[in-house]
Amino acid sequence: MTRFAHYPSLAGMPVVISGGASGIGESLVRNFAAQGAKVGFVDIAVEAGERLAAELAGQGQSVRFAACDVTDTEAYQAAIAGFAAAHGDALALVNNAAHDQRHDWAEVTPAYWDDRMAVNLKHAFFAIQAVAPGMVRAGRGSIINTGSISWMIMSSRIPVYETAKAAVHGLTRGMARELGGSGIRVNSLVPGWIMTERQLTHWLDADGERAIAQNQVLSGRVYPDDVSRMALFLAADDSAMISAQQFVVDGGWANA
């Protein structure tokens, strides 16, 4: 028997997740599907997305994948409409898609700035715009925007990413006010240094291990499932009176 929570309110709930083919996104898809939710997810990684959807569908879970670049707003909103046609209007949205590409601030061009904002911020607003009418009709819903501790701890070599992720909190607060009267909750979920395959492959070295040991108040690594379990709570009815807040899952690193 699992030692983690089961949420009856998630059973049959239509959920939309961006960037769901790998990393934290894959964990979100797996965890929501395991709760019995009807999951629709998008990603640009077509092969990985199709493989994940086929695997979970083969286990009897309700999962659909759409190959989509979230920076193409028209295509992304069309994908969300497709999920609604198949599963019903989304009652939970997890704005997960992001990319923490390293960059030198002195070499940032206007085009690069616009691209990074599209990848890390813009799509979240337009996904909210797409799902909110259905949530308004239902009189309930949960929107979860994914932030980052990077700007809180002043990480180096990602200032544009940090700007976008700091703005996520403004988006959360603003939309919580806009949508709260319709029973829609909007919160930020803020991961720390999460041990995804990408982080383990590209960034975690001896210096990284020392940084974790020195900065986290909890020993050990933080994994994608640790983030997903918070997302499940925020999507479920258990968090019915929580909105406009940020929830940090980082082993106690950042001073939020």
Best CA proximity match to 124, nearest among 249, 24, 18, 227: 18
At 125, the amino acid letter reads: F
Per-residue pLDDT, averaged over 200-220, amounts to: 88
pLDDT digits (tens, 9 = 90+) for 32-78: 999 999 999 999 999 999 999 999 999 999 999 999 999 999 999 99
The answer to whether residues 223 and 230 touch, using CB atoms and an 8 Å cutoff, is no
- 211: region left, alpha or beta (phi > 0 left; psi from -120 to 50 alpha): alpha
- Overall average pLDDT of the 205-210 stretch: 88
Token pair 């759409």 is found at: 66
Other Cβ atoms closer than 10 A to 11: 11
Q: Is 112 a residue of the active site?
A: no
Percentage with pLDDT > 70 across the chain: 99
Asked whether residue 203 carries a pLDDT value surpassing 80, the answer given is no
Contacts of 127 (CB under 8 A, 6+ apart): 16, 18, 70, 76, 77, 80, 93, 95
**pLDDT exceeds 60 at position 1:** no
| Residues 161, 148 contacting (CB under 8 angstroms) | yes
Domains and CATH numbers, the chain: 9-196+223-249 (3.40.50.720)
Q: Is the pLDDT score of 208 beyond 60?
A: yes
Higher pLDDT, 203 or 99: 99
Quote the CA–CA distance of 144 and 13 in Å, as a whole number: 15
Estimate to the nearest angstrom the gap between the alpha carbon of 18 and the chain centroid: 7
pTM over 0.75: yes
Mean pLDDT of 173-177: 98
Backbone angles phi, psi at 153, to 5 degrees: -100, 5
Pick the catalytic residue from 7, 76, 112, 161. 161
Residue 202 pLDDT exceeds 80: no
Q: What does 35-67 look like in DSSP terms, one character per residue?
A: TT-EEEEEES-HHHHHHHHHHHHHTT--EEEEE
Place of tokens 């720390």: 192
Could you report how far apart the first and last alpha carbons of the chain are, in Å? 34
Name the amino acid, one letter, at 248. V
pLDDT at 31: 98
- Cβ contacts of 182 within 8 Å, gap of 6 or more: 132, 135, 136, 139, 141
Tokens of 75: 């295509």
The pLDDT tens digits for 90-136 are 999 999 999 999 999 999 999 999 999 999 999 999 999 999 999 99
